[in-house]
A and B are shown apart, each in its own frame.
Chain A
Amino acid sequence: MATWLHWESVDALVAMGGHGIHVWGAYGATAAALTIEGWLAHRRARRARRAAASAALARTDA
């Protein structure tokens, strides 16, 4: 690996000095939680926008 990296190999990076399962488990859980929260917030925003737009359109048509 490049010299500016702390790790000598990808295997060493994955192993994390024997703590790999805990370190990567923590990072994986964080990535999953942030992704799900972002998706839920955007889904709610999309639905609110759509509902407001159809209400506005219904009024215009009326």
Chain B
Amino acid sequence: MRFTSYAVPSRFFRASTSLLPWLWATAAMAGAAGLSLGLLHTASDAPPGDAGRILIIQVPAAWMSMVVYAAMAAWAAIGWLGHVRLASMAARALAPTGFVCTVLALVTGAFWTRSTWGTWWMWDARLTSELILLLLYGGYLGLAEAIEDPRRADRAGALVAIVGAVSVPVICFSVRWWDALHQGATVTSRQPPELTDGMLPATGLVALAFLAWAFAIVFVRLRAIVLERERDTAWVRALEGAVSAKARVRGIRGAPA
């Protein structure tokens, strides 16, 4: 079977049924391992001391806010230009998760800046560009929800998503392009990370947990969108008809004589 065959909503629906438990399990295990390593077992002696433990969740949330936006823009473009309806639905399913990741990056970042810089907010290049990303997510969600016809909503949303994609490299390179109080990249291949020894694997594990959680949540939401839009198709009728029939049989068996 070709990989592209999963662009058919019915095939995606069946494949995601078997994938979801694995994604939830990965998110739970990686999250538990990362948090236990970062919060309980690792010393944080280097500056900024224990406040550095905020970065275990802040850095993965910020990464995910950008990764999810890039994925959303890519799927929106594929859906719009290639007329692939599952791609447009995937873009719609990704947006709320990206919005939440961006809110988390900003909120946990505010706790971090309060703890280390002494202020909750600063109009720093990285912080401001992340705030613009949040507004782009909000604009995409607001526009897509405001238009009743799903296909028109997908096209309008795709335009916002594609134009806004320019913000992702801006966020990445903002600390290099402008004078910023925000530190440079927390983890790079060129220099030792700012995180202390145990914090780096902890951050990696939490990033894996965020990724698996994002996949799982997006799959749950995408399955809902597929059912909402394909309600009148034969495969949904067959699927839900079978489920309803089973429920009826169970009800008859369970009914008092």
Listed in ascending order, the chain A residues whose CB lies under 8 Å from chain B are 4-7, 13, 16-19, 22-23, 25-27, 29-30, 33-34, 37-38, 40-42, 44-45, 47-49, 51-57, 59-60
Contact = CB atoms under 8 A, between A and B. Distances in A.
A45 B111 contact: no
A23 B53 contact: yes
6 contacts: A17-B50, A19-B49, A19-B50, A33-B100, A38-B217, A40-B96
B240 interface: yes
Contacts of A13: 39-40
B51 interface: yes
Given A13-B40, A55-B240, A45 B221 contact: yes
Number of contact residues on B: which range applies? 35 or more
Contacts of B104: 29-30, 33
A17 B45 CA distance: 10
A53 B243 contact: yes
Interface centre among B100, B111, B237, B243 (most CB of A within 10 A): B111
- Name the prevailing secondary structure of the B interface residues: helix
Interface in B1-59: 39-44, 49-51, 53-54, 57-58
Nearest to A51: B231
A5 B40 contact: yes
Nearest to B233: A52
B41 A42 contact: no
Given A22-B54, A23-B53, A56 B241 contact: yes
Interface stretch (B67-75, B137-145, B147-155, B222-230): B222-230
A43 to B, nearest CB: 9
B236 interface: yes
Contacts of B231: 51-52, 55
B244 interface: yes
A37 B40 CA distance: 27
B111 A41 contact: no
Contacts of A55: 231-232, 237, 240
A38 B213 CA distance: 9
A3 to B, nearest CB: 11
B111 A25 contact: yes
